């Protein structure tokens, strides 16, 4: 009986407190396991961290002008890498002062800032204040989307711990400054500095550093280019914070506040798009496949390019136009392929069209090489061979005239009769020597410019004449280097070949000079320093050309319609093209 009583005593009911403890413990365990499972799922959904840190992209091409200044870039999504070690201190201090003042003293996140943000947001009833550290923002900028989800916030915290364990504070700040997006889809404060203030991040003043730091809150809202007043207000706040945190003194802050100014913004690089498209094709032929970013040093003269781009639309009206400028050794100083790149990206400077009378110098060169001079006489009268019987412009004939007069008035019968005398093959051979013989048809209509060629080839042909008869090979690239400064290509100037004799060149330049005199077809192109030129107009006024020169370069102009429809009968090479030439050089 005693044993039974003891067994009964051992089966006393469990205390409700114990049961509550066990229930709470199990609930907490289940919640903890759920959180661990949720975090694990989120973790395995995260992107590859190392892959993103070493992300691959299409190589960027940075185009430089003749003086080594950047004019445009393609595929460039980041500015030049910057670091705390290489930047002036005030640049990164402005960022830390406004974004995360205790950045160097806390871990992956700033608990004080987060609690403060939560309290303020609850009090205000909306998301008004953020509490993310620079490490958290770096994690978000590099790895995550901008979706406002709990899962993204969890990933952000995990990534922040990962970043703090892998990098020191300076390296994290470097990542942030180089990856933050501020302008036009490009990343990094250097890209912002170059786009907005046209200088590198290492050249930013205290005021400009504060203005860029102001954009970190909302790039468009606080842009010194789009909303300068809002930018100034926030920049002043940043300068005050820099004083409070002993980064700068009050006098420096006041001086910087007085210097705040709207950003000029990036220049319109569409001015160079026809050029950079052309250079890109040339680049591929020089170095093949690009495996890294490259800097391409070109022959472009931006002042000349800008002037042509500005002048041309003033004359074109509803028509299209193109221009090419070459130095006598073949350096392409300017190339404009149309009235407006944003409307049409087709480069008319490399499109094949009929040159009309602009081809005639080839025939006259043959005659001059065979002993004729500008004073030699030829009979200007109707010319017929088979069923080909072209007329002079306005069907006027002058009888016996010398070559100089025939050339200046651009009569048609004289070059045809010269071709009949010396042979079509001699004309095509001369064209080949000048570099424009490819794809020319072996027929008399070629003499009057019926065989197509592009403006670059035509301008090159004239460059040979003004280069004292020496060969000219156009070029656009002088040097290509990669991001490490290693030279991938460098132009090796080849020796020129004497194509035309000195006497032939002398007589030909006389003929070209007569064209811009009052009685010549190109008189509208006359301007100080212009040494000669030639007009050209194709059948039914479909194409109008002028090619001329001064002592610095040879400039070719084309005007017409893309669909080959005729222009007004009043438009010839001596009107709009000659006028554009004149206004560029005056």
pLDDT at 167: 85
pLDDT tens profile 34-44: 555 545 545 55
CA-to-CA separations, 26 to 14, 16, 17, 30, 421, in angstroms, rounded: 17, 15, 14, 6, 111
For residue 26, name the pLDDT band (cuts at 50, 70, 90): low
Strands, E, within 223-298: which ranges? 294-298
Q: Domains plus CATH for the chain?
A: 87-259 (1.10.3810.10), 309-585 (3.40.710.10)
For residue 146, name the pLDDT band (cuts at 50, 70, 90): low
Strands, E, within 139-262: which ranges? 181-183, 186-187
pLDDT at 113: 60
For residue 583, name the pLDDT band (cuts at 50, 70, 90): very high
Phi, psi of 487 (to 5 degrees): -80, 120
For residue 112, name the pLDDT band (cuts at 50, 70, 90): low
| Spatial CA neighbour of 373 closest among 399, 410, 403, 415 | 403
pLDDT at 140: 76
CA-to-CA separations, 519 to 131, 407, 460, 482, in angstroms, rounded: 79, 11, 26, 54
pLDDT at 145: 47
How large is the average pLDDT for residues 479-507?
A: 92
pLDDT tens profile 50-68: 555 555 567 788 999 999 9
Q: Provide the pairing of β-strand 377-380 with 181-183.
A: unpaired
pLDDT at 184: 77
pLDDT tens profile 405-461: 999 999 999 999 999 999 999 999 999 999 987 789 999 999 999 999 999 999 999
How large is the average pLDDT for residues 208-226?
A: 94
pLDDT tens profile 161-207: 777 878 899 988 998 999 898 987 788 999 899 889 989 999 999 99
In the numeric block, which tokens belong to residue 536? 């050209």
If you average pLDDT over every residue of the chain, what do you get? 87
| Spatial CA neighbour of 238 closest among 221, 263, 217, 223 | 217
pLDDT tens profile 237-282: 999 999 999 999 999 999 999 999 999 887 777 789 999 999 999 9
The percent of residues above 90 in pLDDT, for the chain, comes to: 63
Q: Are 121 and 129 spatial neighbours (Cβ–Cβ below 8 Å)?
A: yes
| Spatial CA neighbour of 318 closest among 567, 540, 537, 558 | 567
Phi, psi of 254 (to 5 degrees): -65, -40
pLDDT at 379: 92
Print the SS3 string covering 36-100. Answer: HHHHHHHHHCCCCHHHHHCCCCCCCEEEECCCCCEEEEECCCECCCCCCCCCCHHHHHHHHHHHC
């Amino acid at each position: 009986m005693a044993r039974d009583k003891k067994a009964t005593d051992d089966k006393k009911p469990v205390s409700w407190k114990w049961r509550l403890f066990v229930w709470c413990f199990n609930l907490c365990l289940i919640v903890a396991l759920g959180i661990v499972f949720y975090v694990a799922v989120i973790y395995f959904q995260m992107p590859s961290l190392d892959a993103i840190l070493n992300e691959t992209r299409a190589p960027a091409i940075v185009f430089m002008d003749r003086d080594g200044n950047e004019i445009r870039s393609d595929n460039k999504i980041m500015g030049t890498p910057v670091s705390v070690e290489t930047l002036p201190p005030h640049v990164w201090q402005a960022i830390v002062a406004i974004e995360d003042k205790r950045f160097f003293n806390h871990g992956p996140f700033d608990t004080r800032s987060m609690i403060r943000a939560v309290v303020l947001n609850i009090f205000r009833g909306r998301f008004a204040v953020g509490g993310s550290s620079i490490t958290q923002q770096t994690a978000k900028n590099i790895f995550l989307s901008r979706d406002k989800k709990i899962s993204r916030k969890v990933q952000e915290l995990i990534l922040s711990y990962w970043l703090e364990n892998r990098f020191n504070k300076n390296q994290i700040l470097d990542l942030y400054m180089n990856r933050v997006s501020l302008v036009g889809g490009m990343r990094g404060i250097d890209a912002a500095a170059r786009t907005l203030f046209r200088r590198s991040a290492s050249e930013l003043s205290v005021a400009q550093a504060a203005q860029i730091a102001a954009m970190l809150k909302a790039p468009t809202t606080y842009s010194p280019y789009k909303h300068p007043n809002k930018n100034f207000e926030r920049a002043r706040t940043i300068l005050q914070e820099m004083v409070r945190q002993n980064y700068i003194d009050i006098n420096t802050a006041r001086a910087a506040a007085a210097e705040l100014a709207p950003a000029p913004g990036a220049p319109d690089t569409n001015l160079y798009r026809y050029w950079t498209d052309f250079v890109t094709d040339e680049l591929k032929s020089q170095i093949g496949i690009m495996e890294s970013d490259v800097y391409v040093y070109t022959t472009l003269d931006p002042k000349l390019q800008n002037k042509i781009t500005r002048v041309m639309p003033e004359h074109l009206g509803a028509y299209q136009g193109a221009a090419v400028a070459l130095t006598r050794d073949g350096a392409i100083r300017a190339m404009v392929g149309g009235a407006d790149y944003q409307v049409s990206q087709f480069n008319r400077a490399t499109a094949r069209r009929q040159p009309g009378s602009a081809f005639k110098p080839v025939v006259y060169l043959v005659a001059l090489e065979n002993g004729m001079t500008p004073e030699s006489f030829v009979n200007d009268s109707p010319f017929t061979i088979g069923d080909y019987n072209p007329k002079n412009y306005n069907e006027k004939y002058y009888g016996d005239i010398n070559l100089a007069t025939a050339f200046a008035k651009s009569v048609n019968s004289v070059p045809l009769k010269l071709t009949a005398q010396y042979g079509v093959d001699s004309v095509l051979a001369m064209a080949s020597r000048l570099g424009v013989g490819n794809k020319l048809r072996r027929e008399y209509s070629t003499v009057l410019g019926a065989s197509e060629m592009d403006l670059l080839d035509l301008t090159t042909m004239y460059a040979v004449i003004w280069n004292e008869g020496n060969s000219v090979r156009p070029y656009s690239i002088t040097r290509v280097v990669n991001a490490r400064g290693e030279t991938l290509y460098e132009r090796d100037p080849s020796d020129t070949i004497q194509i035309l004799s000195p006497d032939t060149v002398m007589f030909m330049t006389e003929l070209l000079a007569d064209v811009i005199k009052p009685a010549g077809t190109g008189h509208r192109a006359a301007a100080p320093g212009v040494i000669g030129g030639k007009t050209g107009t194709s059948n039914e006024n479909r194409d109008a050309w002028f090619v001329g020169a001064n002592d610095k370069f040879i400039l070719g102009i084309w005007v017409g319609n893309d669909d080959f429809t005729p222009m007004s009968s009043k438009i010839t090479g001596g009107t709009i093209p000659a006028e554009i030439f004149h206004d560029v050089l005056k």
